[in-house]
Each structure stands twice: as structure tokens, then as C-alpha cells.
Structure 1
């Protein structure tokens, strides 16, 4: 095999150990560097992701937030309920006090009064007076239960009342004071009053005799019927005493509002207990009765 001779364009011959391993590059061409691929570089280290500490991502925080919201709602409703009860208490107490001429306290049932106020339909209202008097009757106390009240104001009424049940207790000393203040002549002679539950009578004692009378209900009115006179009987005939008692009881029960009337009466060891009721009554407005002006 014949090799070309060495020359300027072939400085190395075959088998020459000094020959470079890369191909020859023409002297008139620039040398181009081709980088060789190296091993793949490792990805940059990533910082560990911190757990998110947002308020709403904490279950305990969510529960606490809900508890606070519910507590605020309940507190608001309770405040409204207390205000409405105070307002209703004032209105009802003022009306009762105006009628009976004595102090009164009012309580309401367990049903939320706010709902009753929004509907204008009230139930289970209890009223208790101080026990000083009812009108001119001294020592008389009233316990009153009102139910099914509908406030519907018109030109003729403030609404309707489904039921009213009143229990009146009248002490023996209160009967004595009332007789002394109201009944002419006879009242002035009364020095003491005692009761006899066995026969349902009361005894009026005076310095010169006694009068025994029986409380009764007749035609919705409370009456005091003379049963007997003993001793000198206050020096008055029975025909004079009975009209005085009739006038006395009429004074106590006349002009009661809403058709309230006596239903029953009983004599106790300490005095007299009477029941007064009315059903499906019309509540007067302020023009018809000033005591109901605030209803």
C-alpha cells in the first residue's frame, strides 16, 4: 500500500504516533469547541413547606368562632326578651293597679314573650296585688290569671280576652276596717269580725250585740245576707241592716270591667275567699276606660 509523501498539507503519515486523534481542521477554518455532555445536575434543594396556620384551617378555632356567634345571638335574643317582658309587665301592672287601687306585680309563662308580641296573641299572664285593698275594700288581695289575649285595636276596643280567673282573699281584719269605713252607723259599731267555716257565716261583733251574716253569690254579684241578730243587734232592726249590707257589697263590685262577675264564695278560718271570672270579653280602649289607655 503506497502512502502519499509528507508535505505541507500532510505533516503526519500513517502510523505516526504524533498524529492527533481528531480530524484535521483546515488552517483557514476557525476552531469550534463542542462541549461534551456531562452527568445530569441534581435539582436545587427545596426548603420544607411550613404547615399553613390560617385561622379557618384550625378545627378548634372554627368551633370557638361558632360558639361565640351562637352566644352573641342568644345574648341578643335574651336582651330583647327581657325588654319586651319589662314593657309588658309595666303595661299590665299599670292597668290592674288603676282598677284595684293597689300595687301589682306581673309574671308571664315560659313561652317567649317576643313571639307573643309579634303575633299580638298573649297567654298565661299572672297578676298578684299587694293585698292592701281592692278599691274601697281594705285587706283584700287579688290573684289573677289571664289567657288567650288578642290585641287588635279598633275604634271600639283594644282587643279580646279569652278568659280571666280571679281569686280574691279578704281577711277578717280587712272586713272590719271596710265595714267601719263604708257602712254608716252599723260600721261604726263593729269592733271585731270572726268567721265560721262550718256554717259559712261571719260574725260582726259590737259593744251591744252581734250580727251574723252569710256571704253569697247571686246573679254574678257578691252579697252579704243577714242571718241573725243577737244581743241588742246594734240596736237596729234587720230591715235596716240588710239594705246597708246590700249597698256595701254593691260598692265593692259595681262597674267591674269586661263583664267580670262573682262566681263563688267561701268562708275560711282567716276571712273570705271569692272567685271572679269572665270569658270571651272585649278589652276596652283608653277612650272607654282610662285604666286601659296603655294597652
Structure 2
């Protein structure tokens, strides 16, 4: 007989059915344990430095001792500034003294020269410090130029003067000596005419023009009735006008007619040259006559007839 509860051979076994009202319990699969972290690697660098411990505050420094001068000489910047300031003040004093000395010297020389030439003058000095010359009483490189209006009675005459090796003294009327004095005097043709008209009335009244001729070195005095051709020359350190030709009313006249008057005229001009100036050369130019004069070791005599009291202020 067949068992009704028997299970067919090919049927899998069934779970027992739970009683009504109960839910079957679910079985969860067991979970794996979390992986264990590997131990940390040992440090390879130098060990970290420990932060320095807090230092206690420094006690206040005691105040600087010593004098202000001691502290000053220990400061090189202050010393440098003082040296620079002192040097600048010294230089400014020297420059101011030099300018004052040049101004004062120019004033003294100008007054003396104006007194002699009776014309305006301009004075300048060379590059050598004038203040040093003033202390030593020895001067060089003095340059004087007259205005060119006249030199005493000579109209239209201008002088360019260079003075060197001057020694100032105060020995009575002797105010010192001038070692070298060189003068270049230019006399315009118009000035010659005006001077002759005033100085030689007999000749000047007939002269209405002066013509210079550099080719033969002559000066022609032109008049209405005739002309005088004269040649300027240097004779024994003085200037002379030698008559070359004299014409009047179309006729040639003897030179002795006017030569004495011209000699007196030139003698009056040259005898008043101060400082023993002597003519060295004379040249006729297109515009007039140029004369070079010089003197050596001339005495500045405050009582000399040629200079009068012109050197009294030196």
C-alpha cells in the first residue's frame, strides 16, 4: 500500500509551513569583519623642532653715559656734515673776499687812470687770485681800456693798456713801481682832424678832412686851398709828423712852411705821456693811426707833472 505522506523522489524537500499568524524569520548572511589598517610608517625626516620657550622681556637699557661731545665724535655722519659745512662757508668767504678785492682794486685803478687820460675807463684783472695779490702788494695782469672819446687834448684817441709786475709802496710821493706797461693807442682820422683844427688854428682853419693811406704810410690833410701830406714816424721815442708834400692853390710849397707847426703839435702831445712812456712803433691804417708805447720800471709818482695827484689814492 502506498504511503500518502511519502515524497516523490525527484521533488525537493519543502520548508515546514509556519503556523498561521507568524512570519518566517530571515536569516542574514554573516558579515565579514572590517579590514585592519596597517600600522603607520615610521617618520623618515628630522624630528620636528620644538617651539622655543617664551623668553622673559629684556630689562630696559641704562641711559647713555658720557658728554654730548663724546657721543658726537662717535658719529661719523655728524663729523662729515660739519666738515662739509665748514668747507662751504670757507669757500663762500674766499669767493666773497675775492669779489670785494677785485671790485675795490678796479675802483682804485679806474680812478687813477681816468685822472691821467681824462676819459672813461674799463678795468679787468687776470685769472690769478686778486685777493692774494692784495695781501702781497704785488699785482699782475691788469687790463685797462679807455672809452675812446679822447686822451687829454687828443680827440678820438683810444688806449688799450696792459700792466704787469706792479709793486705798491707808500713812501712819501712814491706809490710804487710798474715793471711792464704796454699800451696800444689808436687815433681815428676824424679825431686827428678835430685835434688839429683846435691845436693848430693856422693850419686847422683850412683843414676840412683827413685821409689815411696805408700803402705808403702817409696821412693827408685836405683843405680848400691845398693839402698837406705827412708821414707819421717814431723819433727818439716820440711821435713826429714829417711833411712829405705841401700844396696850395695848385702850387707845391716848401715844407718848412708848416713843419714847425706840426712839430710843436706832436711835441705837445707826446710830452704829456705819463710813466715815461716811449713810442715803439707807429702804423697808418685805413681808419687812422695806431701807435705802440711801453715803459719799464716806471715809478708811480704822486707829484709828477704828467700825473699830478692821480696816484694819491693808491
Alignment TM class, shorter chain as reference: 0.7 to 0.9
Q: Which residue of 1 aligns with 2:153?
A: 136
Q: Going by fraction, where is helix more abundant, 1 or 2?
A: 1
> TM-score when scaled to structure 1?
0.78
> Is 1:293–2:293 an aligned residue pair?
no
Q: Is the CA contact (8 Å cut-off) linking 2:173 and 2:303 kept in structure 1?
A: no
Match of 1:240 among 226, 249, 257: 257
Q: Distance in 2 between matches of 1:206 and 1:263?
A: 31
Q: For each residue in 1:133-163, what CA deviation from the matched residue of structure 2 results, as whole angstroms up to 9, or x when unmatched?
A: 0111100000001111111221351111111
Q: Distance in 1 between matches of 2:185 and 2:151?
A: 9
From the superposition, tell whether residues 169 and 74 of structure 1 become closer, same or farther in structure 2 (CA, over 3 Å): same
Q: How does 1:89-100 map to 2 (within 5 A)?
A: 89-100=106-117
> Is 1:217–2:245 an aligned residue pair?
no
Secondary structure of the structure 1 residue equivalent to 2:258: helix
Q: For each residue in 1:244-288, what CA deviation from the matched residue of structure 2 results, as whole angstroms up to 9, or x when unmatched?
A: 111111111113222111111000111000011111122213577
How much has 1:239 moved relative to structure 2?
1.7
Taking only aligned residues, the RMSD between alpha carbons, in angstroms, comes to: 2.7
Q: For each residue in 1:200-250, what CA deviation from the matched residue of structure 2 results, as whole angstroms up to 9, or x when unmatched?
A: 001111112211111101011111111102343799752231111111111
Q: Distance in 2 between matches of 1:267 and 1:132?
A: 20
Q: Is the CA contact (8 Å cut-off) linking 1:208 and 1:234 kept in structure 2?
A: no
How much has 1:90 moved relative to structure 2?
1.1
Match of 2:224 among 190, 196, 207: 207
Q: Distance in 1 between matches of 2:156 and 2:113?
A: 17
Deviates more, 1:276-285 or 1:63-72: 63-72
Q: How does 1:244-263 map to 2 (within 5 A)?
A: 244-263=261-280
Q: Distance in 2 between matches of 1:276 and 1:268?
A: 17
Q: Is the CA contact (8 Å cut-off) linking 1:210 and 1:234 kept in structure 2?
A: no
Q: Which residue of 1 aligns with 2:59?
A: 46
> TM-score when scaled to structure 2?
0.74
How much has 1:46 moved relative to structure 2?
2.5
How much has 1:56 moved relative to structure 2?
6.2
Q: Which residue of 2 aligns with 1:35?
A: none
Q: Is the CA contact (8 Å cut-off) linking 2:301 and 2:311 kept in structure 1?
A: yes
Q: Distance in 2 between matches of 1:55 and 1:269?
A: 74
Match of 1:147 among 152, 159, 164: 164
From the superposition, tell whether residues 287 and 254 of structure 1 become closer, same or farther in structure 2 (CA, over 3 Å): closer
Q: Is the CA contact (8 Å cut-off) linking 2:208 and 2:223 kept in structure 1?
A: yes
> Is 1:78–2:78 an aligned residue pair?
no
Q: Which residue of 2 aligns with 1:195?
A: 212
Structure 1 gaps of 5+ residues are 1-41
Q: For each residue in 1:98-149, what CA deviation from the matched residue of structure 2 results, as whole angstroms up to 9, or x when unmatched?
A: 1111011111111111111111111111100000001111000000011111
Q: Distance in 2 between matches of 1:232 and 1:290?
A: 49
Secondary structure of the structure 1 residue equivalent to 2:310: helix
Secondary structure of the structure 1 residue equivalent to 2:171: coil
